[in-house]
Structure 1
Amino acid sequence: MHIINNISDSIFGELWERFKKPWCTSFTIHFFFYTVFIGGLGVFASLFQFINNKGDSWFITENVITYSLALAIPTIVPILLSFNDTKNKSSLAQVSPIVCIVLPILLTFFSYYYKISWPAFICIVISWIVWVISQYDNRCLNDKTFGEDIEANSRNKHGKSWNN
């Protein structure tokens, strides 16, 4: 039981909590429709070309690599901007660059160097997980908090200087 408490208090427990937190209807729609589907259109296009015998299977892997790197590497900024909200600051500073930058680049290297696809697909799953963790506190992707922000702004800011 002592080990379980240590894991929940560790950076991995904290990241797991961040991963679980944002899931609501608006966040889920945004993630699956915009991030996975629209963001992955290049991957789907190369998949359809392969199915229609107009492309090589390696094109799918190249597009997966490009998509996953484009998704994973920019996520380090929101994660590091949440540094003050983190209990495990030293661990976050060490884990974030490894997971957001080093690991995707290593997986890309293995895919290209050995001409194998599985590292690219691992990279895309890691990229999705890291994207969710980076957006855990995005108030615009949560119906409740977004509505609260609009209401607060309308009460406190909207029309404030109209009488002057």
Structure 2
Amino acid sequence: MSGHGAPELTVKNCQDLRVAVIAAQWHTKVMDGLLDGAQRALKELGIEEPTIVRVPGTFELPVAAKQLAGRGYDAVVALGVVIRGGTPHFDYVCQAAALGLTEVSVSTGVPVGFGVLTCDNEQQAVDRAGLPGSAEDKGHEAVTAAVATAAMLRSVSEPWH
């Protein structure tokens, strides 16, 4: 299982962080699970009013993330799923999403939670979507990672008293 070895993250004092979640629309069942997991994590962290937006697909996540990162959000979470098919389309979309979201995070200094599933088949995606019976909850994990990073960045940028 790919989730083996994942850290147990504890995030405190993050209720006032501004968080945006961007979710692709392809593969509705999987995306509903990812988005539900993300919203559950936000609620657990005490973030009451996140911004939730939808884009057509995973390829559109980086441009939306760039715009939101530039509008004062402390963290952005990108959720999507790409399932391998019989053409190179999978490779191009996965690479574009990963590189694009990384570039957004590095260039803006805003943490981007990577909740993009890149799977060989639909069952692998379902197993990671946080649905009943899923082994993993990648929507929840992406939010927790982005918010934990934003909280850490804020703590090291505040002056010591």
* TM-score (normalised: structure 2): 0.33
Question: Which structure dedicates a bigger proportion of its chain to helix?
Answer: 1
* TM-score (normalised: structure 1): 0.32
Question: Which structure dedicates a bigger proportion of its chain to strand?
Answer: 2
